[in-house]
């Protein structure tokens, strides 16, 4: 976890900084907030203090501790700085080296990575002077989190809306991963399966499950950030596909079986996170008409992809998932043996706080050598990195 200095400047999007503070703290980061005097015209320091459990700093001359100079101490304390929202005024001051408030004075004294999330009217954002200042800051090493398009306070529907807190956290997590893990999977080929499969009954009906695919996508993204050559084979989902990997969309269990097995030989690691249907039915042509009588469907067993991989693997490290509602360890260890996997990653999907649709997860990993490792509840993207680190450790000790 990181020490984050959140700098709030005077824009209407300052209210989003409260949500950002909350989400950063929930993710385990320590947050300290500094505000410009203009920011106080939009929001008071109290919510930031309550959420961060730290003093909010506003006045550069408010030196209450004679042992330190406050803005220097804050600059040295942080691992990273985030300016959210960042106004045209603050961007211009930083570009010009002007230190006339707590935010600009602290940031100019900082040598830590700084992320800037602009928020302003679209005409202001596109103004040549603002664009020049942003380019100058990029050349200095500052990182920008581009604004989105949406409804602005001025009434425009245009570019200039501050990035959402979860988008900002994603950028920070990617930076943290790149800095911390140093591409430790460079040169490795990793295949990840994700999402549910769909088994067609007729032209409009189908069998599926509740998988959101978020855990599989988080694993694929984490592996890609850590330097791996990633192939993501996914059931149909409305999730943005991470950039920089090979994406293979599939629908049915049969399609996923073909996509995985045809690519398995070239992989170093296979992580089967998809929720594949255990049964399928023969599709009826057209739309089946409703009748007064009950309907009986005959289901047939699909190919067991994990078992096939366990039987036919040569050099691959094989990880499977076990989504259980009770007797989690017993079923996970049984699956580990039956499928000849190297690790089974088990989670209790009966717990709604970490279930299919949740942003968080908590898992226990059961390894072939009889050991296990608990990953407590945290955002799925952080769980993904911990899973990869444990896989790396297990491969190393063999």
For 269-290, the pLDDT digits (tens) are 999 999 999 999 887 788 888 8
Does residue 154 have an active-site annotation?
A: yes
287 labelled ligand-binding: yes
8 pLDDT tier (thresholds 50, 70, 90): very high
Catalytic residue among 68, 154, 178, 297: 154
- Closest by CA position to 253, among listed 305, 202, 312: 305
Of 149-153, 221-225, 229-233, 274-278, least confident by mean pLDDT is 149-153
Q: What is the pLDDT of residue 161?
A: 86
398 pLDDT tier (thresholds 50, 70, 90): low
321 labelled ligand-binding: yes
pLDDT of residue 397 exceeding 80: no
pLDDT of residue 156 exceeding 80: no
pLDDT of residue 85 exceeding 80: yes
217 pLDDT tier (thresholds 50, 70, 90): very high
Look at 149 and 131; give whichever has higher pLDDT: 131
Which H helix or E strand runs over 379? strand 372-379
Q: How far apart are the first and last CA of the chain?
A: 29
The mean per-residue pLDDT over the stretch 370-383 comes to 91
Regarding pTM above 0.85, the answer is no
Rounded CA separation 352/264 (Å):
33
Give the three-class secondary structure for 246.
Answer: strand
Tell whether omega for the bond before 376 is within 30 degrees of 0, i.e. cis: no
CB within 8 Å of 55: residues ≥ 6 apart: 32, 49
Structural domains of the chain in order of their starting residue, each with its CATH number? 3-175 (3.40.50.1950), 183-397 (3.40.50.10300)
100 labelled ligand-binding: no
Q: What is the average pLDDT value for the chain, to the nearest integer?
A: 92
The mean per-residue pLDDT over the stretch 316-331 comes to 92
Q: Are 234 and 256 in contact (CB under 8 A)?
A: no
70 labelled ligand-binding: no
175 labelled ligand-binding: no
Give the three-class secondary structure for 168.
Answer: helix
The mean per-residue pLDDT over the stretch 157-169 comes to 85
158 pLDDT tier (thresholds 50, 70, 90): low
pLDDT of residue 13 exceeding 70: yes
Residue where the block lists tokens 């036919």: 312
- The residues pairing with 272 across neighbouring beta strands, listed in sequence order, are 193, 320
The mean per-residue pLDDT over the stretch 358-380 comes to 92
């Amino acid at each position: 976890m990181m020490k984050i200095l959140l700098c709030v400047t005077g824009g209407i999007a300052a209210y989003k900084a409260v949500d950002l503070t909350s989400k950063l703290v929930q993710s385990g980061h320590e947050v300290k907030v500094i505000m410009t005097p203009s920011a106080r015209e939009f929001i008071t320091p109290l919510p930031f203090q309550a959420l961060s459990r730290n003093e909010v700093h506003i006045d550069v001359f408010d030196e209450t501790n004679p042992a330190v100079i406050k803005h220097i101490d804050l600059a040295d304390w942080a691992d990273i700085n985030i300016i959210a929202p960042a106004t045209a005024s603050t961007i211009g001051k930083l570009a010009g080296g002007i230190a006339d408030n707590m935010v600009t004075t602290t940031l100019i004294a900082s040598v830590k990575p700084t992320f800037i999330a602009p928020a302003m009217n679209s005409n202001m954002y596109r103004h040549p002077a603002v664009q020049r200042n942003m380019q100058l800051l990029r050349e200095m090493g500052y990182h920008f989190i581009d604004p989105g398009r949406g409804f602005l306070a001025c009434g425009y529907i245009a570019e200039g809306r501050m990035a959402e807190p979860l988008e900002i956290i994603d950028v920070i997590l990617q930076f943290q991963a790149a800095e911390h893990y140093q591409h430790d999977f460079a040169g490795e080929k990793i295949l990840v399966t994700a999402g549910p499969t769909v088994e067609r009954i007729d032209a409009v009906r189908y069998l599926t499950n509740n998988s959101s695919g978020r855990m599989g996508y988080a694993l694929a993204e984490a592996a890609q950030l850590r330097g791996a050559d990633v192939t993501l084979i996914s059931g149909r989902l409305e999730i943005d596909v991470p950039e920089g990997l090979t994406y293979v969309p599939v629908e049915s269990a049969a399609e996923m079986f073909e996509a995985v097995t045809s690519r398995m030989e070239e992989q170093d690691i296979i992580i089967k996170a998809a929720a594949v249907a255990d049964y399928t039915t023969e599709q009826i042509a057209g739309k089946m008409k409703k009748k007064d009588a009950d309907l009986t469907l005959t289901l047939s067993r699909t190919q067991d992809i994990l078992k096939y991989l366990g039987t036919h693997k040569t050099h691959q490290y094989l990880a499977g998932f076990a989504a259980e509602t009770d007797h989690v360890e017993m079923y996970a260890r049984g699956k580990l043996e039956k499928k000849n996997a190297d690790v089974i990653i088990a989670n209790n999907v009966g717990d709604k706080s970490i279930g299919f649709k949740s942003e968080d997860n908590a898992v226990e990993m059961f390894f072939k050598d009889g050991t296990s490792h608990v990953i407590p509840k945290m955002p799925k993207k952080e769980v993904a990195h911990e899973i990869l680190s444990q896989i790396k450790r297990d491969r190393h000790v063999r």
